[in-house]
Chain A
Amino acid sequence: MSLKRVVITGTGSVSPFGRGSDTLMDALLAGRSAVRNIPDLERIGGLRSRVAALVPSIDPKEIPRKFRRSMSPMSVYATLACYDALAQAGLSHEECGSGLLGVSVGSTVGSTATTEEFFRDFFIDHSLERMKTTFFFQIMNHSCAANVAQALGVTGRILAPSAACSTGSHAVGYAYEMIAMGRQEQMLCGGTDEFHPLTAATFDVMNAASVHFNDSPTRTPRPFDRERDGVVCAEGAGILLLESLDAALARRAPILAEVIGFATLSDPSSIANPDAGAMERCMQLALADAGIGADEVDYVNAHATATEQGDVAESEAIFRIFGDRVPVSSLKGHLGHTMAASGSIELLACVGMMGRNVLVPTLNLENVDPACTPLNYLRQAESGSVKVIIKNNFALGGVNSSIVLRSYPHD
Protein backbone atom coordinates (compact mmCIF):
# COMPACT_ATOMS: atom_id res chain seq x y z
CA MET A 1 0.00 0.00 0.00
CA SER A 2 1.28 3.44 -0.81
CA LEU A 3 1.64 5.84 2.08
CA LYS A 4 0.56 9.45 2.02
CA ARG A 5 3.04 12.24 2.55
CA VAL A 6 2.46 14.14 5.78
CA VAL A 7 3.11 17.82 6.31
CA ILE A 8 2.92 20.33 9.15
CA THR A 9 0.61 23.24 8.47
CA GLY A 10 0.23 24.80 11.90
CA THR A 11 2.00 25.02 15.24
CA GLY A 12 0.83 26.27 18.62
CA SER A 13 2.88 26.63 21.75
CA VAL A 14 2.28 27.57 25.34
CA SER A 15 5.75 27.47 26.79
CA PRO A 16 7.55 28.91 29.80
CA PHE A 17 8.23 31.88 27.53
CA GLY A 18 4.51 32.48 27.03
CA ARG A 19 2.01 31.81 24.31
CA GLY A 20 2.90 31.49 20.68
CA SER A 21 5.43 29.72 18.51
CA ASP A 22 7.04 32.99 17.48
CA THR A 23 7.34 34.01 21.14
CA LEU A 24 9.15 30.74 21.75
CA MET A 25 11.47 31.13 18.77
CA ASP A 26 12.31 34.73 19.61
CA ALA A 27 13.25 33.72 23.16
CA LEU A 28 15.33 30.76 22.00
CA LEU A 29 17.21 32.85 19.46
CA ALA A 30 17.76 35.61 22.02
CA GLY A 31 19.40 33.05 24.29
CA ARG A 32 16.95 33.60 27.10
CA SER A 33 16.33 31.20 29.96
CA ALA A 34 12.85 30.60 31.36
CA VAL A 35 14.13 28.91 34.51
CA ARG A 36 13.36 30.62 37.82
CA ASN A 37 13.76 30.01 41.51
CA ILE A 38 10.39 28.89 42.89
CA PRO A 39 10.16 29.95 46.55
CA ASP A 40 7.15 27.67 47.23
CA LEU A 41 9.35 24.63 46.73
CA GLU A 42 11.24 25.50 49.94
CA ARG A 43 8.20 24.35 51.94
CA ILE A 44 8.60 20.76 50.79
CA GLY A 45 10.78 18.73 53.08
CA GLY A 46 13.43 16.71 51.34
CA LEU A 47 13.09 18.49 48.01
CA ARG A 48 16.47 19.93 47.13
CA SER A 49 15.65 21.27 43.67
CA ARG A 50 14.01 24.71 43.84
CA VAL A 51 14.07 25.71 40.22
CA ALA A 52 11.51 25.29 37.46
CA ALA A 53 10.32 26.91 34.24
CA LEU A 54 6.65 27.80 34.54
CA VAL A 55 4.17 29.17 32.05
CA PRO A 56 3.65 32.89 32.71
CA SER A 57 0.11 34.14 33.23
CA ILE A 58 -2.21 33.45 30.31
CA ASP A 59 -5.93 34.04 30.03
CA PRO A 60 -7.81 30.73 30.01
CA LYS A 61 -11.16 32.50 29.59
CA GLU A 62 -10.74 32.43 25.84
CA ILE A 63 -12.03 28.88 26.30
CA PRO A 64 -15.77 28.85 27.07
CA ARG A 65 -16.55 27.82 30.66
CA LYS A 66 -18.56 24.84 29.49
CA PHE A 67 -15.33 23.30 28.20
CA ARG A 68 -12.89 24.90 30.64
CA ARG A 69 -14.68 23.54 33.74
CA SER A 70 -13.22 20.07 33.10
CA MET A 71 -9.72 21.35 32.38
CA SER A 72 -6.71 21.54 34.62
CA PRO A 73 -3.95 23.90 33.42
CA MET A 74 -2.41 21.29 31.11
CA SER A 75 -5.64 20.98 29.14
CA VAL A 76 -5.91 24.76 28.99
CA TYR A 77 -2.37 24.96 27.59
CA ALA A 78 -3.13 22.28 25.01
CA THR A 79 -6.41 23.84 23.94
CA LEU A 80 -4.94 27.31 23.51
CA ALA A 81 -2.04 25.81 21.55
CA CYS A 82 -4.57 24.00 19.35
CA TYR A 83 -6.41 27.27 18.74
CA ASP A 84 -3.14 28.80 17.52
CA ALA A 85 -2.13 25.83 15.39
CA LEU A 86 -5.52 25.87 13.67
CA ALA A 87 -5.35 29.61 13.13
CA GLN A 88 -1.93 29.36 11.52
CA ALA A 89 -3.12 26.50 9.31
CA GLY A 90 -6.23 28.40 8.29
CA LEU A 91 -8.57 25.72 9.56
CA SER A 92 -11.72 26.90 11.34
CA HIS A 93 -13.11 25.36 14.52
CA GLU A 94 -16.20 24.36 12.55
CA GLU A 95 -14.05 22.29 10.19
CA CYS A 96 -12.74 20.27 13.17
CA GLY A 97 -16.03 18.38 13.16
CA SER A 98 -15.61 17.06 9.63
CA GLY A 99 -14.53 13.61 10.82
CA LEU A 100 -11.35 14.04 8.78
CA LEU A 101 -9.49 15.51 11.76
CA GLY A 102 -8.40 13.60 14.84
CA VAL A 103 -6.65 14.41 18.09
CA SER A 104 -3.52 12.84 19.54
CA VAL A 105 -2.57 14.71 22.71
CA GLY A 106 -0.96 13.22 25.79
CA SER A 107 0.43 14.08 29.20
CA THR A 108 2.64 12.17 31.61
CA VAL A 109 -0.18 11.79 34.16
CA GLY A 110 -3.53 13.41 34.85
CA SER A 111 -3.58 16.59 36.92
CA THR A 112 -1.65 15.98 40.12
CA ALA A 113 -2.73 19.33 41.56
CA THR A 114 -6.40 18.40 41.11
CA THR A 115 -5.84 15.04 42.75
CA GLU A 116 -4.06 16.72 45.63
CA GLU A 117 -6.91 19.19 45.99
CA PHE A 118 -9.45 16.39 46.18
CA PHE A 119 -7.58 14.36 48.76
CA ARG A 120 -6.81 17.43 50.89
CA ASP A 121 -10.56 17.96 51.22
CA PHE A 122 -11.38 14.26 51.43
CA PHE A 123 -9.06 13.65 54.38
CA ILE A 124 -10.86 16.25 56.50
CA ASP A 125 -13.78 13.88 57.16
CA HIS A 126 -13.52 11.21 54.45
CA SER A 127 -16.60 12.66 52.79
CA LEU A 128 -17.40 12.77 49.09
CA GLU A 129 -20.21 15.27 49.59
CA ARG A 130 -18.15 18.24 48.48
CA MET A 131 -16.74 16.57 45.36
CA LYS A 132 -17.37 18.56 42.19
CA THR A 133 -18.52 16.74 39.08
CA THR A 134 -15.55 17.92 37.00
CA PHE A 135 -12.87 16.41 39.26
CA PHE A 136 -12.63 13.14 37.39
CA PHE A 137 -12.38 14.81 33.99
CA GLN A 138 -9.20 16.58 35.09
CA ILE A 139 -7.38 13.49 36.28
CA MET A 140 -8.26 11.04 33.53
CA ASN A 141 -5.24 9.74 31.64
CA HIS A 142 -6.84 11.07 28.47
CA SER A 143 -8.01 14.31 30.05
CA CYS A 144 -6.15 16.60 27.65
CA ALA A 145 -7.11 14.77 24.47
CA ALA A 146 -10.73 14.59 25.56
CA ASN A 147 -10.86 18.23 26.58
CA VAL A 148 -9.30 19.39 23.33
CA ALA A 149 -11.71 17.25 21.31
CA GLN A 150 -14.71 18.54 23.25
CA ALA A 151 -13.66 22.17 22.99
CA LEU A 152 -13.17 21.92 19.23
CA GLY A 153 -15.99 19.53 18.41
CA VAL A 154 -13.60 16.97 16.95
CA THR A 155 -15.33 13.87 15.61
CA GLY A 156 -12.37 11.93 14.25
CA ARG A 157 -9.98 9.62 16.06
CA ILE A 158 -8.87 10.42 19.57
CA LEU A 159 -5.65 9.14 21.10
CA ALA A 160 -3.91 10.00 24.36
CA PRO A 161 -0.39 8.59 24.41
CA SER A 162 1.31 8.54 27.77
CA ALA A 163 5.02 7.80 27.60
CA ALA A 164 6.57 10.19 30.12
CA CYS A 165 9.11 12.41 28.36
CA SER A 166 8.48 10.72 24.99
CA THR A 167 4.77 11.55 25.08
CA GLY A 168 4.90 14.54 22.75
CA SER A 169 6.92 12.64 20.17
CA HIS A 170 4.65 9.62 20.44
CA ALA A 171 1.60 11.80 19.91
CA VAL A 172 3.12 13.32 16.77
CA GLY A 173 4.58 10.05 15.54
CA TYR A 174 1.35 8.10 15.80
CA ALA A 175 -0.56 10.98 14.21
CA TYR A 176 1.93 10.91 11.33
CA GLU A 177 1.39 7.18 10.88
CA MET A 178 -2.41 7.51 10.92
CA ILE A 179 -2.31 10.16 8.21
CA ALA A 180 0.28 8.28 6.18
CA MET A 181 -2.00 5.24 6.22
CA GLY A 182 -4.95 7.32 5.15
CA ARG A 183 -6.96 6.80 8.34
CA GLN A 184 -7.27 10.55 8.98
CA GLU A 185 -6.56 13.55 6.81
CA GLN A 186 -5.56 15.85 9.67
CA MET A 187 -4.38 15.42 13.25
CA LEU A 188 -3.90 17.90 16.05
CA CYS A 189 -1.05 16.33 17.98
CA GLY A 190 1.45 16.95 20.72
CA GLY A 191 2.13 16.82 24.43
CA THR A 192 1.19 18.97 27.38
CA ASP A 193 1.98 19.10 31.08
CA GLU A 194 1.60 21.23 34.17
CA PHE A 195 4.18 21.62 36.89
CA HIS A 196 3.67 20.09 40.31
CA PRO A 197 6.32 19.74 43.03
CA LEU A 198 5.98 15.96 42.78
CA THR A 199 7.36 16.15 39.25
CA ALA A 200 10.56 17.74 40.48
CA ALA A 201 10.58 15.33 43.40
CA THR A 202 10.40 12.37 41.03
CA PHE A 203 13.77 13.34 39.62
CA ASP A 204 15.21 14.57 42.90
CA VAL A 205 14.72 11.24 44.66
CA MET A 206 16.65 9.58 41.83
CA ASN A 207 19.43 12.17 42.17
CA ALA A 208 18.56 13.34 38.68
CA ALA A 209 17.26 16.87 39.42
CA SER A 210 19.31 20.04 39.33
CA VAL A 211 20.04 21.13 42.91
CA HIS A 212 23.17 23.29 42.74
CA PHE A 213 21.80 26.31 40.93
CA ASN A 214 18.84 27.25 43.14
CA ASP A 215 20.29 30.75 43.59
CA SER A 216 21.38 31.15 39.96
CA PRO A 217 18.47 29.48 38.13
CA THR A 218 19.24 30.73 34.63
CA ARG A 219 22.54 28.79 34.71
CA THR A 220 20.71 25.46 34.78
CA PRO A 221 20.00 22.99 33.27
CA ARG A 222 23.30 22.54 31.46
CA PRO A 223 23.00 19.84 28.79
CA PHE A 224 26.34 18.21 27.88
CA ASP A 225 28.21 20.60 30.19
CA ARG A 226 30.70 19.22 32.69
CA GLU A 227 28.98 21.20 35.46
CA ARG A 228 25.53 19.88 34.70
CA ASP A 229 23.67 18.43 37.65
CA GLY A 230 20.32 17.27 36.39
CA VAL A 231 16.84 18.02 35.13
CA VAL A 232 14.93 21.25 35.65
CA CYS A 233 11.21 20.55 35.42
CA ALA A 234 9.00 22.77 33.31
CA GLU A 235 5.50 22.92 31.87
CA GLY A 236 3.64 23.86 28.72
CA ALA A 237 2.12 22.46 25.57
CA GLY A 238 3.30 22.02 22.02
CA ILE A 239 0.76 21.24 19.32
CA LEU A 240 1.26 20.62 15.62
CA LEU A 241 -1.40 20.31 12.97
CA LEU A 242 -0.36 17.48 10.68
CA GLU A 243 -2.19 16.76 7.49
CA SER A 244 -1.78 14.80 4.32
CA LEU A 245 0.07 16.69 1.64
CA ASP A 246 -2.94 16.22 -0.62
CA ALA A 247 -5.28 17.83 1.92
CA ALA A 248 -2.89 20.70 2.57
CA LEU A 249 -2.44 21.41 -1.13
CA ALA A 250 -6.18 21.22 -1.74
CA ARG A 251 -6.75 23.80 1.01
CA ARG A 252 -3.81 25.92 -0.14
CA ALA A 253 -2.61 25.71 3.45
CA PRO A 254 0.82 27.01 4.44
CA ILE A 255 3.24 24.07 4.52
CA LEU A 256 5.83 24.58 7.24
CA ALA A 257 7.70 21.28 6.97
CA GLU A 258 7.25 17.61 6.14
CA VAL A 259 7.39 14.71 8.59
CA ILE A 260 9.30 11.98 6.79
CA GLY A 261 10.26 9.55 9.52
CA PHE A 262 9.31 8.27 12.95
CA ALA A 263 10.54 5.44 15.11
CA THR A 264 9.91 4.34 18.65
CA LEU A 265 11.14 1.36 20.57
CA SER A 266 11.38 -0.05 24.04
CA ASP A 267 14.71 -0.26 25.81
CA PRO A 268 14.29 -3.06 28.37
CA SER A 269 17.83 -2.81 29.74
CA SER A 270 16.69 -0.56 32.61
CA ILE A 271 13.54 1.31 33.61
CA ALA A 272 15.59 4.33 34.61
CA ASN A 273 18.96 4.30 32.85
CA PRO A 274 19.26 4.94 29.12
CA ASP A 275 21.28 2.76 26.79
CA ALA A 276 23.28 4.23 23.92
CA GLY A 277 22.67 1.18 21.76
CA ALA A 278 18.90 1.51 22.04
CA MET A 279 19.10 5.23 21.29
CA GLU A 280 21.23 4.52 18.23
CA ARG A 281 18.77 1.89 16.99
CA CYS A 282 15.90 4.32 17.43
CA MET A 283 17.57 7.01 15.34
CA GLN A 284 18.58 4.44 12.70
CA LEU A 285 15.01 3.19 12.46
CA ALA A 286 13.73 6.73 12.06
CA LEU A 287 16.24 7.40 9.28
CA ALA A 288 15.23 4.13 7.60
CA ASP A 289 11.57 5.11 7.87
CA ALA A 290 12.47 8.42 6.23
CA GLY A 291 14.42 6.58 3.56
CA ILE A 292 17.48 8.76 3.99
CA GLY A 293 21.06 8.29 5.08
CA ALA A 294 22.78 9.93 8.02
CA ASP A 295 24.72 12.09 5.58
CA GLU A 296 21.52 13.89 4.61
CA VAL A 297 20.82 15.16 8.14
CA ASP A 298 21.68 18.79 8.82
CA TYR A 299 20.98 18.95 12.55
CA VAL A 300 20.23 16.74 15.54
CA ASN A 301 17.90 18.14 18.18
CA ALA A 302 18.92 16.12 21.20
CA HIS A 303 16.73 15.07 24.09
CA ALA A 304 19.66 15.84 26.46
CA THR A 305 18.05 16.78 29.75
CA ALA A 306 21.36 17.49 31.51
CA THR A 307 21.56 14.26 33.44
CA GLU A 308 24.91 12.51 33.45
CA GLN A 309 23.69 9.15 32.22
CA GLY A 310 21.29 10.55 29.62
CA ASP A 311 23.65 13.08 28.05
CA VAL A 312 26.59 10.71 27.86
CA ALA A 313 24.56 7.87 26.36
CA GLU A 314 22.87 10.14 23.81
CA SER A 315 26.16 11.73 22.77
CA GLU A 316 27.56 8.23 22.21
CA ALA A 317 24.52 7.22 20.14
CA ILE A 318 24.67 10.37 18.02
CA PHE A 319 28.42 9.96 17.50
CA ARG A 320 28.03 6.39 16.28
CA ILE A 321 25.69 7.57 13.52
CA PHE A 322 26.77 11.09 12.68
CA GLY A 323 30.33 11.37 13.96
CA ASP A 324 31.33 14.92 14.72
CA ARG A 325 29.93 16.41 11.53
CA VAL A 326 26.30 17.26 12.27
CA PRO A 327 25.46 20.19 14.56
CA VAL A 328 23.81 19.03 17.79
CA SER A 329 21.98 21.01 20.46
CA SER A 330 19.45 20.62 23.23
CA LEU A 331 16.77 23.19 24.03
CA LYS A 332 16.53 22.13 27.68
CA GLY A 333 18.99 24.86 28.67
CA HIS A 334 16.45 27.51 27.63
CA LEU A 335 13.21 25.74 28.49
CA GLY A 336 13.96 23.21 31.15
CA HIS A 337 12.26 19.88 30.62
CA THR A 338 8.63 20.40 29.72
CA MET A 339 7.97 16.70 30.30
CA ALA A 340 5.22 15.34 28.04
CA ALA A 341 5.36 18.56 26.05
CA SER A 342 9.11 18.45 25.43
CA GLY A 343 8.93 16.33 22.29
CA SER A 344 6.40 18.51 20.57
CA ILE A 345 7.51 21.93 21.82
CA GLU A 346 11.05 21.17 20.74
CA LEU A 347 9.81 19.69 17.46
CA LEU A 348 7.89 22.82 16.59
CA ALA A 349 10.98 24.82 17.52
CA CYS A 350 12.79 22.70 14.93
CA VAL A 351 10.12 23.72 12.43
CA GLY A 352 10.82 27.32 13.43
CA MET A 353 14.56 26.79 12.89
CA MET A 354 13.85 25.47 9.39
CA GLY A 355 11.64 28.43 8.62
CA ARG A 356 14.24 30.92 9.80
CA ASN A 357 17.26 29.00 8.50
CA VAL A 358 19.03 29.17 11.82
CA LEU A 359 20.03 26.61 14.43
CA VAL A 360 19.56 27.32 18.13
CA PRO A 361 22.56 26.41 20.31
CA THR A 362 22.53 24.75 23.72
CA LEU A 363 22.17 27.38 26.41
CA ASN A 364 24.53 26.97 29.38
CA LEU A 365 26.88 24.68 27.50
CA GLU A 366 30.24 26.21 28.35
CA ASN A 367 32.62 23.29 28.71
CA VAL A 368 31.68 19.96 27.16
CA ASP A 369 31.88 17.09 29.60
CA PRO A 370 34.89 14.96 28.64
CA ALA A 371 32.69 11.91 29.23
CA CYS A 372 30.52 12.97 26.28
CA THR A 373 31.68 12.09 22.77
CA PRO A 374 33.28 14.80 20.58
CA LEU A 375 30.17 15.96 18.73
CA ASN A 376 29.66 19.20 16.85
CA TYR A 377 28.02 20.83 19.87
CA LEU A 378 26.32 24.09 18.95
CA ARG A 379 27.28 26.83 21.36
CA GLN A 380 26.16 29.76 19.29
CA ALA A 381 23.38 30.25 16.77
CA GLU A 382 24.33 29.07 13.30
CA SER A 383 22.73 30.45 10.16
CA GLY A 384 22.33 28.50 6.97
CA SER A 385 20.00 26.24 5.08
CA VAL A 386 18.35 23.64 7.31
CA LYS A 387 16.72 20.92 5.25
CA VAL A 388 16.63 17.76 7.37
CA ILE A 389 16.37 17.52 11.15
CA ILE A 390 16.18 14.52 13.45
CA LYS A 391 14.64 15.13 16.85
CA ASN A 392 15.11 12.73 19.78
CA ASN A 393 13.01 12.01 22.85
CA PHE A 394 14.03 9.38 25.37
CA ALA A 395 11.85 8.70 28.40
CA LEU A 396 12.01 7.03 31.78
CA GLY A 397 10.56 3.59 31.40
CA GLY A 398 12.79 2.85 28.41
CA VAL A 399 10.60 4.61 25.83
CA ASN A 400 12.67 5.97 22.97
CA SER A 401 11.49 7.93 19.96
CA SER A 402 12.93 9.92 17.08
CA ILE A 403 11.23 12.01 14.41
CA VAL A 404 12.69 13.19 11.12
CA LEU A 405 11.59 16.47 9.52
CA ARG A 406 12.36 17.77 6.06
CA SER A 407 11.83 21.28 4.77
CA TYR A 408 9.15 21.53 2.12
CA PRO A 409 10.26 23.11 -1.17
CA HIS A 410 8.12 26.09 -2.06
CA ASP A 411 8.52 26.60 -5.79
Chain B
Amino acid sequence: MTDQEIIERINSSLAEEFELDLGEMTPETTLYGDLGLDSLDTVDMVIVLEGAFGFKIREEETIREIRTLDDIHRFVINKKRQMDERA
Protein backbone atom coordinates (compact mmCIF):
# COMPACT_ATOMS: atom_id res chain seq x y z
CA MET B 1 0.00 0.00 0.00
CA THR B 2 1.47 3.37 -1.02
CA ASP B 3 1.49 6.41 1.24
CA GLN B 4 -1.12 8.01 -0.99
CA GLU B 5 -3.34 4.93 -0.74
CA ILE B 6 -2.99 5.02 3.04
CA ILE B 7 -3.98 8.70 3.12
CA GLU B 8 -6.99 8.03 0.90
CA ARG B 9 -8.14 5.17 3.12
CA ILE B 10 -7.76 7.29 6.26
CA ASN B 11 -9.71 10.15 4.74
CA SER B 12 -12.49 7.98 3.37
CA SER B 13 -12.82 6.09 6.67
CA LEU B 14 -13.03 9.28 8.69
CA ALA B 15 -15.35 10.92 6.16
CA GLU B 16 -17.76 8.01 6.43
CA GLU B 17 -17.63 7.82 10.22
CA PHE B 18 -17.91 11.53 10.90
CA GLU B 19 -19.92 12.57 7.83
CA LEU B 20 -17.15 14.81 6.52
CA ASP B 21 -16.75 16.36 3.09
CA LEU B 22 -13.68 14.81 1.43
CA GLY B 23 -13.09 18.05 -0.47
CA GLU B 24 -12.54 19.91 2.78
CA MET B 25 -10.11 17.38 4.24
CA THR B 26 -6.74 18.99 3.59
CA PRO B 27 -3.60 17.99 5.53
CA GLU B 28 -3.66 21.16 7.61
CA THR B 29 -7.32 20.65 8.66
CA THR B 30 -7.50 20.54 12.45
CA LEU B 31 -9.63 17.85 14.09
CA TYR B 32 -11.05 19.89 16.92
CA GLY B 33 -11.19 23.37 15.41
CA ASP B 34 -12.01 22.76 11.74
CA LEU B 35 -13.86 19.45 11.91
CA GLY B 36 -15.51 20.05 15.28
CA LEU B 37 -14.60 16.64 16.67
CA ASP B 38 -14.50 16.08 20.43
CA SER B 39 -13.14 13.57 22.91
CA LEU B 40 -15.77 10.93 22.11
CA ASP B 41 -15.01 11.27 18.40
CA THR B 42 -11.30 10.88 19.11
CA VAL B 43 -11.87 7.53 20.77
CA ASP B 44 -14.09 6.39 17.91
CA MET B 45 -11.51 7.64 15.39
CA VAL B 46 -8.97 5.28 16.91
CA ILE B 47 -11.43 2.38 16.59
CA VAL B 48 -12.12 3.29 12.98
CA LEU B 49 -8.40 3.44 12.14
CA GLU B 50 -7.75 0.16 13.97
CA GLY B 51 -10.50 -1.45 11.91
CA ALA B 52 -9.26 0.04 8.64
CA PHE B 53 -5.61 -0.93 9.07
CA GLY B 54 -5.67 -3.95 11.38
CA PHE B 55 -3.40 -2.57 14.08
CA LYS B 56 -3.79 -1.61 17.74
CA ILE B 57 -2.98 2.02 18.51
CA ARG B 58 -5.20 2.90 21.46
CA GLU B 59 -2.37 2.79 23.98
CA GLU B 60 0.09 4.72 21.81
CA GLU B 61 1.26 7.86 23.62
CA THR B 62 1.88 9.80 20.39
CA ILE B 63 -1.85 9.73 19.55
CA ARG B 64 -2.34 12.42 22.15
CA GLU B 65 -0.22 14.78 20.07
CA ILE B 66 -2.40 14.52 16.99
CA ARG B 67 -4.00 17.83 16.01
CA THR B 68 -4.34 17.82 12.22
CA LEU B 69 -5.20 15.36 9.49
CA ASP B 70 -1.56 15.47 8.45
CA ASP B 71 -0.64 14.31 11.98
CA ILE B 72 -2.93 11.32 11.50
CA HIS B 73 -1.55 10.57 8.04
CA ARG B 74 2.04 10.60 9.28
CA PHE B 75 1.16 8.58 12.38
CA VAL B 76 -0.59 5.84 10.40
CA ILE B 77 2.04 5.73 7.65
CA ASN B 78 4.72 5.34 10.31
CA LYS B 79 2.73 2.67 12.13
CA LYS B 80 2.12 0.75 8.91
CA ARG B 81 5.83 0.91 8.07
CA GLN B 82 6.70 -0.55 11.49
CA MET B 83 4.18 -3.34 10.97
CA ASP B 84 5.53 -4.15 7.52
CA GLU B 85 9.09 -4.26 8.83
CA ARG B 86 8.10 -6.72 11.56
CA ALA B 87 6.21 -8.91 9.11
A residues in contact (CB < 8 Å) with B = 61, 65-66, 69, 129-134
B67 partner residues in chain A, CB cutoff 8 A: none
Chain B: residues with CB nearer than 8 A to chain A?
A: 18-19, 36, 38, 40-41, 43-44, 47, 50-51, 56, 58
Not counting A129-B47, A130-B50, A132-B44, a sample of 9 additional A-B residue pairs whose C-beta atoms are within 8 angstroms of each other reads: A61-B19, A65-B19, A66-B38, A69-B40, A129-B56, A129-B58, A130-B47, A130-B51, A134-B44
- For the complex, give the distance between the alpha carbons of A130 and B49 in Å: 11
22 A–B pairs (Cβ distance < 8 Å), ordered by A: A61-B19, A65-B18, A65-B19, A66-B36, A66-B38, A69-B40, A69-B41, A129-B47, A129-B50, A129-B56, A129-B58, A130-B47, A130-B50, A130-B51, A131-B47, A132-B44, A132-B47, A133-B40, A133-B43, A133-B44, A134-B40, A134-B44
State in angstroms the CA–CA spacing of A133 and B36 once bound together: 17
Q: Chain B: interface secondary structure?
A: helix
| Chain B residue contacts of A132, Cβ below 8 A | 44, 47
How many whole Å from B51's CB to the nearest CB in chain A?
7
A residues within 8 A CB of B19?
Answer: 61, 65
- For A70, the closest partner residue in chain B by CB is B40
Minimal beta-carbon separation of A129 from chain B (angstroms): 7
Docked Cα-Cα span, A69 to B41, in Å, equals 10
Q: Which of chain A's residues have a CB closer than 8 A to the CB of B18?
A: 65
Give the complex CA separation of A129 and B53 in angstroms: 14
Q: Give complex CA distance A129, B19 in Å.
A: 22
- A65 CB to closest chain B CB, in angstroms? 5
Alpha-carbon distance between A131 and B38 when the two chains are bound, in angstroms: 17
Q: Which 8 A-B pairs have the closest CB atoms?
A: A133-B40, A133-B43, A65-B19, A132-B44, A133-B44, A130-B47, A132-B47, A134-B40
* CA gap between A65 and B51 in the complex, in Å: 21
CA–CA, A195 and B40, complex, Å = 28
Which B residues touch A69, using CB under 8 A?
40-41
Residues of A within 8 A of B36 (CB): 66
Give the docked Cα–Cα distance between A61 and B38 (Å): 19
In Å, the complex CA distance between A133 and B58 comes to: 13
Set of chain A residues within 8 Å of B44, measured between Cβ atoms:
132-134
Which residue from chain A places its CB closest to the CB of B48 in the assembled complex?
A132
Rounded to whole angstroms, the CA-CA distance of A66 and B41 in the bound complex is: 9
The distance in angstroms between the C-alpha atoms of A131 and B51, with both chains bound, is 11
Enumerate chain A residues within 8 angstroms of B41, measured Cβ to Cβ. 69
Residue of A nearest to B36 (CB): A66
Cα of A132 to Cα of B45 in the assembled complex, Å: 9
The residues of B that contact A130 with a CB separation of less than 8 Å are 47, 50-51
Q: Whose C-beta in chain B lies nearest to the C-beta of A66?
A: B36
Bound-state CA distance A169–B19 (Å) is 36
Q: What separation, in Å, do the CA atoms of A134 and B58 have in the docked complex?
A: 17
